Chains A and B, each alone.
Chain A
Amino acid sequence: MSLKKEKKDIFLFLPRKKPFTDWAKLLRKDFKLKHFYKSKDLLSALLFLPPQVILYYFNRDRKAFETLLQLKQNFNLVSLAIILVFEEKDLRSLTDDRILRLIDDLLLTTSSPLELKIRINLCLHRLTRISDNNPLTGLPGNVSIELAIKKALESEEPLAIGYVDLDNFKTYNDLYGFSAGDEVIKNLARILQTTIFEKTSKAFLGHIGGDDFVFIVPLSMAEEISKEILQKFKALLPAFLSEEDLKRGYFIAKNRQGVLREIPLLSLSIALVPITKGRFKHPGEVAARAAQVKSVVKKMPGSNYFIDRRA
């Protein structure tokens, strides 16, 4: 294997004129550039071969830009840096907070090629430095989870916090290997992401680590969402099990004492804790309650959810 650093990919969605042609000339030395002039081509290429950086001329196609933001959100493309390119006079129209949350930097068309290059490198470094997101799934990690739970405790609208984890995941890892285990985790993250955010945009999803996830959704939807997650997980599970294990219906593996035993197949547990204002004061209390609920779900065979109905 060669140790030479591979050139990073940059997609350019910029008009074919100065100063952009000068920009490209300089960037070409350090990056692999791909030019796009039709938004459809850009989006399609983004789906199949996402680059590290996109330079997007804001005035060009606002609708496609909206789709680009959606894509970044939907796929947790945290490592995709979006740099918006602006005419100075258009800065006034940049009032949408959502745009600011999803883009990584701004550049004026008056920037010099050198400034551009430095900004791009800065962007790339920043992305690797400050991410709280889980590297495997791209989902927010513990710092963001704690913040989200704190915010949820103050919410006027009744919410539910869902704790998701896999049963017998350790056995799966032992039998199939870590990379197969990662595969399951990544796909579980996709199921959670698509199911939750298709139902509501007022939701949060985080990855605590390993096979533990947390989501926060409106209480009124919590059970419906949990049911759908479980159903999708069951439908997809056979893709991750060997035909042998599937037919048999359980794993055969050594337990802690080193004795071969029958161990149930992978399943999913969701513990739901309703949050109404004033019920909990501290995220730690929620976690403690969740642990109790979880022990109930874990005792049920197969994939299940359980909602804590105590006052």
Chain B
Amino acid sequence: MPDPSEKRKEVKKKIKKLEGLPSLPPIVQKLNALIEDERSSLNQIADLIEKDQVITTKVLRLANSAFYGFPRKVSTVQQAMMLLGINVLKILIMTSSIFEIISKEDVGLWEHSVGVAACAKIIAEMKEVSDPQEVATAGLLHDLGKVVQMIAFKEDYEEVKKKAGAGVPPLQAELEVFGIDHAEMGAFLMHQWNLPERLIEMVNSHHDLSRSKKFRKESALLHLADLLVQARGYGETTYVGLPPFDPKALSILKVHPSEIKEIYLKLEPRLYELKFFTEELKREMV
């Protein structure tokens, strides 16, 4: 068996060299069409971008790069678009690469991510956490590390899936194969690309609250949103059952168990809306 700490170093080195990630072809096509259409509004475009974690990361990365703005400030697509402008956005989308092959079950990760984004936003609004849109962005990006695994570490990713299928808890399987889990991988990449600290900390600690230092409330929120969407059965991840849940999240957030029902009541219509989009996405992917 390979030494996980050696593998960890190797993984980080490879992520540092990563120049970009591909996006889902139907999303790129739709975005191109939307941008070419003069009648579409900035909000419509932002809405679509916020359904793809890869393009969202790309837009944030550009708006936060030292060359154009000042790093680590811009945390939502809407803000980034105001700074970049439509012409630059066009070029950005034009130069987006797309997935050559991706299996249908992997599209489930997109579904899961937009679900968690919606849920995180609802909880943020209920609990009056500042900047719910930023929290939603963190929800969208929380499994970015898995996209990295799919793209840059294909064989290892298959290995993780095999282990998880044989009953090893997925996070442990990731540690065995990579020496690092997807939460830390995603956060590491976001750090390389100068994304805001709050987003990075939320993503990094979404399976392990002890990793959060400055943004404990936000991290607990994402931890809960991830569980709720998974429990609802929306999208797919490597977890067949539920991810381990740390009940401290409830006390940090001051969420009473009875409020969970309220969250679900608000979430359901949003998921219903999103379903149209993701179903179409799946149809077009095959």
Contacts and interface: CB of A to CB of B under 8 A. Distances in A.
Contacts of B97: 40
A51 B69 CA distance: 16
A77 B93 CA distance: 20
A243 interface: yes
Size category of the A interface is: 20 to 34
A94 interface: no
Interface string B69-113: 110011100110011111110011011010000000000000000
B82 A75 contact: no
B172 interface: no
Contacts of A238: 131
Interface stretch (A14-22, A168-176, A183-191): A183-191
B272 interface: no
Contacts of B94: 40, 43, 67
A239 B67 CA distance: 18
Given A43-B91, A240-B73, A198 B62 contact: no
A235 interface: yes
A43 B92 CA distance: 8
Given A183-B70, A190-B69, A194-B82, A44 B95 contact: yes
Contacts of B61: 48
Interface string A41-53: 1011101111000
Nearest to A70: B87
Contact of B62 (A47, A67, A232, A243): A47
For A194, A197, A236, which residue has the most chain B Cβ atoms within 10 angstroms?
A: A194
Nearest to A233: B82
A71 interface: yes
A45 B62 CA distance: 11
A145 to B, nearest CB: 22
Contacts of B82: 190-191, 194, 232, 235-236
Nearest to B196: A239
Contact of A235 (B69, B78, B84, B86): B78
A187 B65 contact: no
A69 B94 CA distance: 15
Contacts of B62: 47-48
B68 interface: yes
A193 interface: yes
B95 A239 contact: no
Nearest to B20: A44
B73 A190 contact: no
Nearest to A179: B70
A74 interface: yes
Contact of A47 (B69, B79, B86, B95): B95
Contact of A190 (B19, B83, B87, B92): B83
Given A74-B88, A75-B88, A187-B70, A236 B83 contact: yes
B130 interface: yes
A186 B70 contact: yes
Contacts of B19: 44-45, 48
A239 B92 contact: no
Interface of A: 40-41, 43-45, 47-50, 67, 70-71, 74-75, 182-183, 186-187, 190-191, 193-195, 197-198, 232, 235-236, 238-240, 243
Interface of B: 19-20, 61-62, 65, 67-70, 73-75, 78-79, 82-88, 91-92, 94-95, 97, 130-131
19 contacts: A40-B97, A47-B62, A47-B88, A47-B91, A67-B91, A67-B94, A70-B87, A74-B85, A75-B68, A182-B70, A183-B70, A183-B73, A190-B82, A191-B82, A194-B82, A194-B88, A197-B85, A198-B86, A236-B83
> Which 8 A-B pairs give the minimum distances between C-beta atoms?
A194-B85, A44-B95, A183-B70, A190-B83, A232-B82, A43-B95, A74-B87, A239-B73
